[in-house]
Amino acid sequence: MGVSVLTRRERIIRALNHQEPDRVPFDIGGTAASSIHPDVYGGVLSLLGWPPEAEFTKHVTVLTEMVTPSEKFLDHVDACVRKVGPQIPRRDEEGPGYVQRYVDEWGVTWARADEVSEFADKGGPFQRHEPSEQELERYAWPDISDPSRYVGIREEVERVRRETDAAVVCEIPYGIVRECQRMRGFTEFLEDLLINQTYAEALMEKVVDVVTAIIDRTLDEVPDPDVCLWAEDMGFQERAYMRPELYRRMVKPYHRRLVEAIQKRTDAKVMVHSDGSIRELLADLVDIGVQVINPVQVSAAGMDSAELKREFGADLSFWGAIDTQHVLPFASPDEVKHEVKVRIHDLATGGGYVAASGHNIQREVPPENVLAMIEAVHDYGEYPLVSQQ
Amino acid sequence: MEYDELTQAVIDGDAPRAEMLTRQAIEQGMNAEAVLAYGLIQAMSIVGERFGTGEIYVPEMLIAARAMKKCLLILKPILAQGSHEPAGTVVIGTVKGDIHDVGKNIVSIMLEGAGFEVHDLGVDVTPEAFVRAVEDERPDIVGLSALLTTTMLVMRDVIAALATAGVRDKVKVLVGGAPVTDEFATEIGADAYAPDAAAASVTAKSLIASAVSVGEGDE
């Protein structure tokens, strides 16, 4: 039987339609949680015997100092997606020769330890205030019409469609719980969900209004994305941020509105990002229309890849899953290959899996392990899978 | 006032009621030390257990701790007049290079709930700063936190710095954070690892107990 030749975009679409493509699609650099640290990227290029790429596009997302690899590299490693999406406006940048501290459009302060570290949020506008709905009314919410937010998106989509055969992920870099926690304080907002419920709802209402408006405006620029990704965070290492009942009662209605804003505009697959242990929330996410989860943090409690596939594989596709907490940084290249083999075995039968690191590839990951991951996806990723033969 | 009522109010995270009951207890001339032990710390110990079994989640734990703290503010001036001793002293911080503090803050809340005096050094704390804090505060326990695989490796440097300064055997080192495991804790020579905030407060108590029994054995 002849091997069908699919474009990378078709490979992604088939996999996310729960069909088996020619091989398991691979992503590196295609989402804000599957990128690679510049030092490691440099190391990988050197292992390949390639010259350094001076023109690294450092995309310091709100969180990490990561690079979008060059097209040459992405093509070489068979990376199947490219991401596009709105810029996150910043102000009040400061630091000793590099940006160490800034304030984002929501009024949240971000800081990092040094030039090569991640940013973390260090305080929001409503933190330590008495909960006040009047304050929410008066607050200067992000200006969704600010054109600088959408600069270059359309051109990038056109470039990807013209110059590559990859799928387009439209990344909406916002969630609801996450934005509320950043503005109100991580623990304060979790407390509000129980003891200041009217206030918590008013805050989520404001946030979802902004986020859905940005989704709408962004999708004007990206008329036909293949995947639309939004970024939440709802999992600790050991369990979800909140019990499913509380999620259902307080948060789910706002998540539903966010997903509907996407569905109203596009048939793209809806993907949500959340680190950590979120298994107990997955049925509700499926219920509101989520079709793909990322980054599938298999080292978190309850996130065993075989069990997830068994329980949710009919409704959900899985994007990520190659362990970044223990394997990629600390194991040997052979162990990395084994890890990839296991995830493909667990998740890729019948499609429904995009292989990628289970979060960004951090500074301490040996470049050898990145190459081992790429090789293993190639070696074990061909359909019919080894485990099916 | 019955201790059970206060305990229940704290467990429910009902701060106004818990504060009212605490004031009532003081007005009735009840011993502040006892109110703390049998009302508040007892409540947080039950909260920790229920978190451990999955009966409650972080939000419920947080509102309980919040109620407990408000009651503690009422008791503190009275406790300060007596001979009240905390359950132990903890110096805690997120290690150098890492400025994530969600986990560390929740651990601090639970340690305070368990009656510990907590000195929070914040985030991006150098090994030298941990050593200084150990010399200044003479804590029973040093708590190290990291979210990133990059920065958890710095925990090893902190333990080495404590050894170099000659204070390693004066403290117990408790480590935690998403990528940290029991094996890693053992490998770097920490005394204990805790997977979550409730476990951290239980582990901290047992570290104090073991330190006391070792100390007694030496005599």
Q: 3-class secondary structure for A49-95?
A: CCCCCCCCEEEECCCCEEEECCHHHHHHCCECEEEECCCCCEEEEEC
For B36-67, what is each residue's pLDDT tens digit? 999 999 999 999 999 999 999 999 999 999 99
Name which of A120, A190, A241 is nearest B100 (Cβ-Cβ): A120
- Greater pLDDT, A59 or A83: A83
Nearest CA-CA distance, residue B51 and chain A, Å:
10
- Residues of A within 8 A of B59 (CB-CB) are 190-191, 193-194, 241-243, 246
Residues 6 or more apart in contact with residue A75 via CB below 8 angstroms: A164
Q: What is the Cα–Cα distance from B99 to B193, expressed in whole angstroms?
A: 20
Over residues A345-358, the mean pLDDT reads 98
Residues 6 or more apart in contact with residue A112 via CB below 8 angstroms: A100, A101, A118, A119, A120, B99
For B170-212, what is each residue's pLDDT tens digit? 999 999 999 999 999 999 999 999 999 999 999 999 999 987 7
Residues of A with CB under 8 A from a CB of B: 111-114, 117-118, 120, 122, 186-187, 190-191, 193-195, 236-243, 246, 276, 299-300, 324-326, 329-330, 362-364
Is pLDDT of B91 > 50? yes
User: What's the confidence (pLDDT) of residue B194?
Assistant: 96
- Give ipTM to 2 decimals: 0.93
Name which of A186, A242, A364 is nearest B149 (Cβ-Cβ): A364
User: What is the identity of the amino acid at A356?
Assistant: A
Helix (H) / strand (E) containing B118: strand B116-120
Is pLDDT of B81 > 60? yes
DSSP code of residue B93? E
Nearest residue to A303 via CA among A320, A286, A291, A285: A320
Residues 6 or more apart in contact with residue A292 via CB below 8 angstroms: A16, A227, A269, A270, A271, A272, A316, A317, A318, A319, A354
Over residues B151-159, the mean pLDDT reads 96
B43 touches B58 (CB < 8 A): no
Nearest CA in chain B to A115: B97
Assessment of whether the complete model's pTM goes beyond 0.90: yes
Name which of A120, A300, A329 is nearest B99 (Cβ-Cβ): A120
Nearest residue to B184 via CA among B215, B151, B138: B151
Mutate to test the interface with A, among B150, B151, B152, B188 (most CBs of A within 10 A): B150
User: What's the confidence (pLDDT) of residue A192?
Assistant: 98
Radius of gyration over alpha carbons of chain A, in Å? 20
- Residues of A within 8 A of B101 (CB-CB) are 120
Q: What is the Cα–Cα distance from A288 to A305, expressed in whole angstroms?
A: 22
Mutate to test the interface with B, among A234, A236, A241, A250 (most CBs of B within 10 A): A236
User: What's the confidence (pLDDT) of residue A386?
Assistant: 80
Say which range, B9-13, B29-33, B139-143, has the weakest mean pLDDT: B29-33
Nearest CA-CA distance, residue B145 and chain A, Å:
14
Is pLDDT of A105 > 80? yes
Nearest CA-CA distance, residue A311 and chain B, Å:
21
For A250-298, what is each residue's pLDDT tens digit? 999 999 999 999 999 999 999 999 999 999 999 999 999 999 999 999 9
A128: left (phi over 0), alpha (psi -120 to 50) or beta: left
User: What's the confidence (pLDDT) of residue B84?
Assistant: 84
Nearest residue to A72 via CA among A46, A88, A50: A50
Domains defined for chain B, CATH in brackets: 3-81 (1.10.1240.10), 88-218 (3.40.50.280)
C-beta atoms of B97 and A117 within 8 A? yes
- The answer, yes or no, to whether the previous bond of A295 is cis (omega within 30 of 0) is yes
Domains defined for chain A, CATH in brackets: 8-388 (3.20.20.210)
Q: What is the Cα–Cα distance from A285 to A291, expressed in whole angstroms?
A: 8
